[in-house]
Amino acid sequence: MPSFSRRQLVLLVLLTLIWGLNWPVMKQAIAHFPPLTFRALSLVLALPIIGLVVRYQKASFRVPRSFWPTLVLLAIPNMVLWHSMMILAIPNLSSGRAAILAYTMPIFSAVFGMVFFRDRLPARAWLGVLAAAVGVLLLLWHELAALGSRPLGVGLMLMSAASWAMGTQLLRRTQIPVPLITLSFWMVAIGCAVLVALAAIFESGQLRVPTGAALFGMLYNGFLALGFAQITWFFLARNLPPVASTLSVMLIPVIGLFSGSMWLGEELHWQDWTAIVLMMVAIASVLWPSRKS
């Protein structure tokens, strides 16, 4: 069993809860506020927090000019496409289903690694790909069968997960001579700028002062989900055993599913129960570290 310090354990629990509960928070918030504007303003709130951490760590904000095209290339899938498509998908899905579909990312990442980067995909990972595919088909089947459903949400969420997965693969394989927190700051800044522009173009007529659930969701996302939790994830990913981060990734959609049911009264069908089990099998098969011989 991996060993944790008390600080690491507390941070891991907080991170998992914050990201898991964020799915019903976002769902409720954008029921009262334009989605692109909501996400753009959340990123605007998060950016100074990440900047303060850069200062606290005494890291430089400077990125060599020759690496800016690479930085923009990394920001497009990791920030722009992920955040924009994800937030546009949520109004068309229950928060629980959105969480399940978003966390197909590790499966997409494993497949992309094999197809584009010649990574070897072990037999158990193929089991994970199959489990994830069946889970997605179950959710899509229910969306198509439900009266007045909008399966576009499933497609958008899967595309956002695939974008995040490709961005993760590129991030692992790209060398930019700056600290990770500096890289994160500028990727968030680029994503923030693009989403502000998209919101101004497509939602300018809907702009209003956020109140109630929208204001709470914006503050929750800006300070907790995108500020505290993102920075915490970088710290934990470097210092915790792979088993710990895998458990966290597996639990986030589970928390999203059940918190959406309890908080928003979202009805759970047998497809949801089956899909969450299949996704946990899929994520574990792809991310769980192999036993050393």
Question: What pLDDT, on the 0 to 100 scale, is given for residue 144?
Answer: 66
Cα gap 3→64, rounded to integer Å = 39
Per-residue pLDDT of the chain (293 residues; tens, 9 = 90+): 455 677 877 888 898 899 999 999 999 999 989 999 999 999 999 999 999 999 999 999 999 999 999 999 999 999 999 999 999 999 998 898 898 889 888 888 888 988 898 888 778 778 888 888 888 888 777 766 664 456 788 899 999 999 999 998 898 888 899 998 999 999 999 999 999 999 999 998 888 888 999 999 999 999 999 999 888 877 776 666 655 666 677 788 889 889 999 999 988 888 888 888 888 888 777 767 666 54
Q: Which residues, in sequence order, are CB contacts of 203 under 8 Å at separation 6+?
A: 34, 36, 37
Taking the CA atoms of residue 196, residue 202, residue 205 and residue 206 in that order, the dihedral angle to the nearest 10 degrees is -70
Q: Which residues, in sequence order, are CB contacts of 289 under 8 Å at separation 6+?
A: 241, 242, 243, 246
Domain limits of the chain? Answer: 6-287
Q: What is the DSSP string of 159-217?
A: HHHHHHHHHHHHHHH---SS-HHHHHHHHHHHHHHHHHHHHHHHSGGG-----HHHHHH
Distance linking the first and last C-alpha atoms of the chain:
16
Cα gap 172→186, rounded to integer Å = 17
Cα gap 153→165, rounded to integer Å = 18
Cα gap 27→35, rounded to integer Å = 9
